Amino acid sequence: NFLLTQPHSVSESPGKTVTISCTRSSGSIATNFVQWYQQRPGSAPSIVIFEDNQRPSGVPDRFSGSIDSSSNSASLTISGLKTEDEAKYFCQSYASSNQWVFGGGTKLTVL
Amino acid sequence: QITLKESGPTLVKPTQTLTLTCDCSGFSVSSIGVAVGWIRQPPGKALEWLGFIYWDGDTLYSPSLNSRLTITKDTPKNRVVLTMTNVDPVDAATYYCVHRRNGGSGWLDYWGQGTLVTVSS
C-alpha cells in the first residue's frame, strides 16, 4: 500500500485562504478518488470533499478540492477562513483490493 | 435520519477480546448496497480504517489487522458488531462506527459519536 502524507499543521488568519496538501507516496494520485474529512475538537469527522473535488450538500463553497498529477498530490483549499474552520483535516483514498488509506491529518489553526 | 451509536467496554485488559456494538437506525444493515464499517483513532493521532461489512454479509478488513478482526451483523436488531482478539495497549483508541454511502466512491457520510477504549491491566 501507499502512504498519504500531510503537513502536521498549518495556520492562517481569518478571511485568508489556506491550502492543505496530501501527497501519495507511490502510484498515481489520479488512480483513485480522494476524500477530505474535517474533525473539530471533541467531535467525529465529517466529509467536506468527496471524489477529489465534489462538495456534499451543506458544505460551504469556500471549501474546494483538487488533484495535481505533477506533484502526485491532492489539495484542500479553504477560502475566506473563519474561526469555525479550525479543525483537523484528513485526506483518504483507496489502495488495491478496495483497502482504505488515511493521511496523518493536518491541524488547521485560524488565528 | 441515519444515526449510529457505538457501545462496549471502556476498559479491556491486554490479551482479552474486545467486542463493540453499533446500533443503527434510519436504514437497514441488510438493504442492498449498504455498508457499515469501523474506523479507529488513537488519542491525538490519525484515523485508521478497520473494515466494512456489506448488506450481503461480505466483509473487507485492513490487512494489518485481518487476523484479529471480525465484523458481523445482526439484521433483526439492525446492529453491527466488531470483535478484536488479543488486544494490546496500542489498540487503545476511539472507535467509530461509520455508514458508507451507497454508490460513487462510497465515502463515509455518517459517523457515530465514537467510543473510547482503554487497554490496560
Q: Which residue in A32, A100, A101, A107 has the most chain B C-beta atoms within 10 A of its own C-beta, making it the best mutation to test that interface?
A: A100
Beta bridge partners of A39: A88
Q: Which cell goes with A57?
A: 450538500
By C-alpha distance, which of A33, A40, A42, A17 is closest to A91? Answer: A33
Q: What is the pLDDT of residues B88-114, one digit of tens each?
A: 999 999 999 999 988 778 899 999 999
Q: Which cell goes with A41?
A: 475538537
Q: What is the pLDDT of residues A42-61, one digit of tens each?
A: 999 999 999 999 999 999 99
Are B115 and B5 within 8 A, CB to CB? no
By C-alpha distance, the chain B residue nearest A49 is B107
Q: CA geometry: angle at A17 spanning A48 and B101, to 5°?
A: 5
**Going by C-beta distance under 8 Å and a sequence separation of 6 or more, which residues neighbour residue A75?**
A19, A20, A21, A22, A65, A66, A67, A68
Beta bridge partners of B111: B98
Q: Name every chain B residue with its beta carbon within 8 A of the beta carbon of A101.
A: 49
Between A110 and B106, residue with greater pLDDT: A110
Quick one: what percent of chain A has pLDDT higher than 70? 100
Q: Would you place residue A1 in the very low, low, confident or very high pLDDT band (cuts 50, 70, 90)?
A: confident
Q: Rounded to whole angstroms, how far apart are CA atoms B110 and B96?
A: 10
Output DSSP code: residue B102. Answer: S
- The predicted structure's pLDDT at residue A96: 79
Asked if A35's CB is within 8 angstroms of B114's CB, the reply is: no
Q: Exposed/middle/buried for A65, CB within 10 Å: 0-12, 13-18, 19+? A: buried
Q: Across residues B58-71, what is the average pLDDT?
A: 94
Q: Name every chain A residue with its beta carbon within 8 A of the beta carbon of B60.
A: 97-99
Q: Is the dihedral of CA B58, B59, B63, B66 positive or negative?
A: negative
- The predicted structure's pLDDT at residue B105: 81
Q: Is B104 on the interface with A (CB under 8 A)?
A: yes
pLDDT over threshold 80, residue B37: yes
- The predicted structure's pLDDT at residue B95: 98
User: How far A71 CA sits from the closest chain B CA (Å)?
Assistant: 23
pLDDT over threshold 80, residue A97: no
- The predicted structure's pLDDT at residue A98: 79
Q: Is A103 on the interface with B (CB under 8 A)?
A: yes
Backbone angles phi, psi at B38, to 5 degrees: -130, 135
Q: Which residue in B105, B111, B113, B115 has the most chain A C-beta atoms within 10 A of its own C-beta, making it the best mutation to test that interface?
A: B105
By C-alpha distance, the chain A residue nearest B94 is A44
Q: What is the pLDDT of residues A58-82, one digit of tens each?
A: 999 999 999 999 999 999 999 999 9
- The predicted structure's pLDDT at residue B103: 79
Q: Would you place residue B23 in the very low, low, confident or very high pLDDT band (cuts 50, 70, 90)?
A: very high
